[in-house]
Amino acid sequence: MSKKEMIQSDIGSVLSAQEIAEIDAELAHIPYKSGAAIDALKIVQAKRGWVSDECLQGIAKYLEMSAEELEGVATFYNLIYRRPVGEKVILFCDSVSCWIGGCDDIKSKISNVLGVDYGETTADSSYTLLPVPCLGACDRAPVMMVGDDLVTHLDDKKITELFGSAANGSAK
């Protein structure tokens, strides 16, 4: 087995063939392998929801960089998750426009209904609640993202529609 094949098989036990293929596609566009670091992290996260230590080490090896260097990149961006998250991540905007629009009360409501604070995941792993400094939809504040969907003009009613009410527990 050649050295390259050995690394491949090593990585293969961590990263899926499809992930490797997608990373290879990114690599085709750039002169330095480490330049694909962010894309590789996004590819893996898209498939698995988050980036585990093993995945991070696998990507680092594949991109010929040290795990420390890649860790620096992964932890710098707060939308690369280095801990498991729920099925859907709620990115709740707490920036100026949303704050004027009363996002504090809505956040309390969400926390109340789902039983989680910022950085926490619901017991059934459906949601992780994270703050975000702006979603670029100030004209429709307060806003948040639930998974890939932008939810605008938030109020108690919308929260109940989405997550139910505290009385009947969190969503499910």
Partner 1 sequence: MPTIFIDGQELQVNDGENILEACLNAGMDLPYFCWHPAMGSIGSCRQCALVQYQNEDDTRGRIIMGCMTPVTEGARFSLNAENATEFREAVVESLMLNHPHDCPVCAEGGECHLQDMTVMVGHRDRRYTGKKNTYRNQYLGPLIHHEMNRCITCYRCERYYKDYAGGTDLGAQASHDHLYFGRHEEGLLESEFSGNLVEVCPTGVFTDKPFLKQYSRKWDLQSAPSICTGCAVGCNIAPGERYGNLKRVHNRYNHDVNGYFLCDRGRFGSGYVNSEARLDYAGIKKSDGSFMAVHQQQALDTAANWMQGKKVAAIGSPRASVESNYLLRELVGAENFAAGFSDTEAKLMASVSQILQTTKAVNPSIKQIEAADAILVFGEDVTNTAPRVALALRQSVRNKSFELAEQMGLPQWQDAAVRNLAQDQLSPMLIVSAMDTRLDDVASQCISLAPDQIAEFGVAIVEAMAGEPTSNTQANEIAQILQCAKNPLVISGTSMQHWGIINSAVAIAESLCGKKSSCMLSLCVPESNSIGSALLAGDMSQPLSHLVESAPEVLLVMENDLHRRLSAQQMQQLMGEGTQVISLDMLENPTLGASDMVLPAASYAESQGSLVNMEGRVQRYFPVFQPANERMPSWQWLLKIAAATGHKSLSKLEHFDDVVAACEKNHAQFDGLAIAAPDNSFRDRGLKIPRQTHRYSGRTAMNAGVNVHEPQQPHDTESPLAYSMEGLNRDQPASLTPYVWSPGWNSNQSLQKFQSEVDGPLKGGTAGQRLIISTAKGATKKSENSTTDMQPHQWQLVPVYRVHGSEELSVNTDEIAELAGHSFVALGEVVAEKLGVVEGDGAIVASGDIEVSLEVKILQRVAKNCIGFAAGYTETMAFQAGSLASLTKDKKWQRREPQLIASDKTIPDPMISTGGSARV
Q: What angle do CA 172, 79, 35 make, to 5 degrees?
A: 145
Question: Any residues with CB less than 8 A from the CB of 124 and at least 6 apart, and which?
Answer: 170, 171, 172
Residue 68 touching partner 1 (CB under 8 A): yes
55 neighbors 48 (Cβ within 8 angstroms)? yes
The token pair at 85 is: 């998250």
57 binds partner 1 (CB under 8 A): yes
Q: Looking at beta carbons only, is 54 or 124 nearer to partner 1?
A: 54
72 binds partner 1 (CB under 8 A): yes
* Residues in Cβ contact with 136 at an 8 Å cutoff, skipping those fewer than 6 apart: none
The residue among 65 and 93 lying less far from partner 1, judged by its C-beta, is 65
Q: Of residues 9, 18, 66, 168, which one binds partner 1 by CB under 8 A?
A: 66
- DSSP for residue 56: H
Residue with tokens 């605008």: 152
Stretch that binds partner 1, among 10-18, 22-30, 66-74, 152-160 (CB under 8 A): 66-74
Q: How far is the CB of 83 from partner 1 (least distance, A)?
A: 13
Question: Within 118-157, which residues bind partner 1 (CB under 8 A)?
Answer: none
**Interface residue list for partner 1 (CB under 8 A):** 3, 32, 53, 56-57, 66-72, 75-76, 78
